[in-house]
Chains A and B, each alone.
Chain A
Amino acid sequence: MHIVVCTKYTPDSEAKMSVDEEGNISWGDSPLIINPWDEYSVEEALLLRDQHGGTVTVLSVGPEAALEALKHAVAMGADEAVRVWDEACAGSDTLATSYVLAKAVEKMGDVDLVLCGKSTIDAQTWQTGVALATRLGWPSLMYTINLVELRSEERSITVERLLEEGRQVVEAPLPAVLGTTKGINEPRYTSFIGIRKAAQMEYPLWTLEDIGAEREKVGPQGSGVRWPEVFEPPAREGEAEIIEAETIEEKARILTEMLLAEKVI
C-alpha cells in the first residue's frame, strides 16, 4: 500500500489574527502548525500502514514554512515527505493547487489512497480534497468519520461519511481520495524519537518541472478565484447585559421577556 497524505501549514488555532494597513495577514507570535484537520489523515494513514503494510508519504504544496506540517507528520510516524514549490504557485486557488497535487501524485505513480483533511483552518474552502479527486478521476469520499474496511487484495474500501441527516455507508474501488473528519480516530502525539527523525530527515523539493506541471495552470493565471481584500470583521459591540434580580427564577423571567422582544424565540 502506498498512502499519500496531503497537508498544509496553518497558524495555530489559538492565534489572534489581524490585518495591517497594507492588507497583510498576521498571526502575531503564534507558531505555525500542521493544519489540525490533517492530523486525522496522518493518523488514519499510519493505522492503515500498520494493518496492511506499505508506505505513508506526506505531501505539501508550499514555501519553506510548509516543512512545519511535513515535520509534524514525520514525527507522528510518516515514512516519506515531499514538498512541491515554485514561486509561480503563490496565489493559487484550489483549482490550481489541486492541479499541482494531482501532478505530484501522478509522478509518484503507485498511489493506492490519498487522504486529505476536511478543510484547512485558514482559508477554509473545503475544496482541495474533492478537487484533487476530480483531477485524478478517482472516487471522492469526503467527510469520512469511520473507515469500515479496506480490502487491499480486492483493492476496495468501505467508509461511513457524514451528511446532514446521518451517515452514508459507501463502497469504492481504489485508488480513491478520502477526506477525514474529526471523530475518525484520535491522532497520536509526536514521540521524541519521531521528532528526532523528523529533524534529521531530508525533505525533497519538487519543482513544477519535476512533476511535469504547466506553469500557466498554477498561480493566479491557473486560478479561478481572486481575493483582493482581507479585513477584520467588526467586533460584536460592548459587553453582555448582565441580568440582575433577587432570584434565579426572576432572572429567567426577565431574560425570557428580552428574548421575546428580540424576536429570536
Chain B
Amino acid sequence: MNKDILVWVEQFEGEASAASWEAVGVARQLADEGSGGVLACVLGGDGLKDLAEEAVAYGADRVLWAADPTLADFRVEPYATVLQHTVREHEPGTILMAATFRGREIGPALAVRLETGCIADCTELYFENGQLMATRPIYAGKLVSRCLIPERRPQVVTTRVRAFPKPEPDLGREGELVELSVLMAEDEIAVKVTGFEESEGGVSLADAGVIVSGGRGVAGPEGYEPLRELAQILNGAIGASRAAVDAGWIPYEHQVGQTGKTVSPDLYIACGISGAIQHLAGMRTSTVIVAVNKDPEAPIFKIADYGIVADLFDAVPALRDALREKLE
C-alpha cells in the first residue's frame, strides 16, 4: 500500500457531480501533504474522455477509466467490482468519494469487499502523525465525532457534499489517462435498471448554494409559490420543514432536518419555520442563515444571522423584488 489516494468520480450522463470535484480537491491537498499521488476513477457507458480530462484539471495525476455498457447505469455490483480490481492493481492507501446516494452505497460495499473500514460523511480531513483523521457530524450534527482507521488499508472515506471547497480547474495541468480492462459480463450482474424518472427540474438540495425553505407558516401547498420565485432569482433550491412535509404540502425530497436532508448551503433562508431542534440539526452548518418569521420569540432567531420579524407573505415578495433590483 502506498500514499496514493484514489477518488471515485461519479457521473450522470457524462457530467461529474460537483461533490466529486470537492473530493478530488481534498484528495489533492492530502496527497500533497503526504507526498502521494491522486488517482481518479471514472466509470460509465461511453463518452468519458472529456470527463477524464476534467479530472486531471481538477487535480488528478492519473485517471483510470472504463466505458462499457455494463457501467452505463449506476449499479453497485459492476461498479464495486471494477473499483475493487482497480484498488488491487494500483494499491492506493486511501479511497475517497462523495457521500451522495451513489457514494454512500459504493463506499461501504467496497469497504466490506476489502475487509476494511469506511468513515462516512466526513466534514474535515487532516493528517496527525501520518494518520488520516476525520471529523464527522453524528446525531444530525448535535455532536461531532473524530474518527480514524488505525490499521486496515486501504481505508475508505466518503466526504459530505459541500463540506469541502470545489477546486478551480487548471486546464493546463497534465495527467495520464489509463483505460481499465477488468469488467463484469452483463449476465453476471443480478440487478437490472429498467427505467429512470428524472426529478422535476430545479436545483437539488444537496448541491444548492442557496436554499429557500418553508415551514408551517407557508400554510399550504400554494404557499411555496413566493418561495419558489425567490429561489429562482438566487438559483436556489426549495427546502421544507418536517411539519410542511407531514402536512402533504411538499414532497419528502425537500425535507431538511434530522429525518430529512442535512444541508450546508452558503445561504439558508428559513421562512415560516419556528426552528424545532430536528430542523436546526439539518441546516445549522449553513454559512449564513436568514429567518423570516412572524413570531419574534421563534427559536429559529437563536441560530439565524439575520432576521426579519414579519409575515412571510409580505417579506418574501419584498425580498424577491429587492434582490431582483440588485442582481438583474
Contact = CB atoms under 8 A, between A and B. Distances in A.
A164 B206 contact: yes
B228 interface: no
Nearest to B303: A236
Contacts of A164: 12, 17, 100-102, 204, 206-207
Contact of A139 (B73, B77, B115, B155): B77
A2 to B, nearest CB: 20
A172 B192 CA distance: 6
A259 to B, nearest CB: 7
A209 to B, nearest CB: 22
Contacts of A19: 143
Contacts of B92: none
A168 B13 CA distance: 14
Interface in A242-265: 242-243, 248-249, 251-253, 255-256, 258-260, 262, 264-265
Interface stretch (B44-52, B53-61, B106-114): B106-114
Contacts of A17: 139, 142-143
Interface string A103-141: 000000000000000000111111110110111000111
A140 B100 contact: no
B118 interface: yes
B198 interface: yes
Interface string B272-290: 0000011000001001111
Interface string B284-312: 10011111000010000111111111100
A126 B121 contact: yes
Interface in A145-190: 145, 158, 160-173, 181-183
B326 A256 contact: yes
Contacts of B319: 252, 255-256
A226 B113 contact: no
Contact of A142 (B105, B150, B252): B105
A248 B318 CA distance: 7
B287 A14 contact: no
Given A183-B251, A232-B144, A127 B108 contact: yes
Closest 4 interchain pairs by CB?
A224-B117, A169-B195, A240-B307, A252-B318
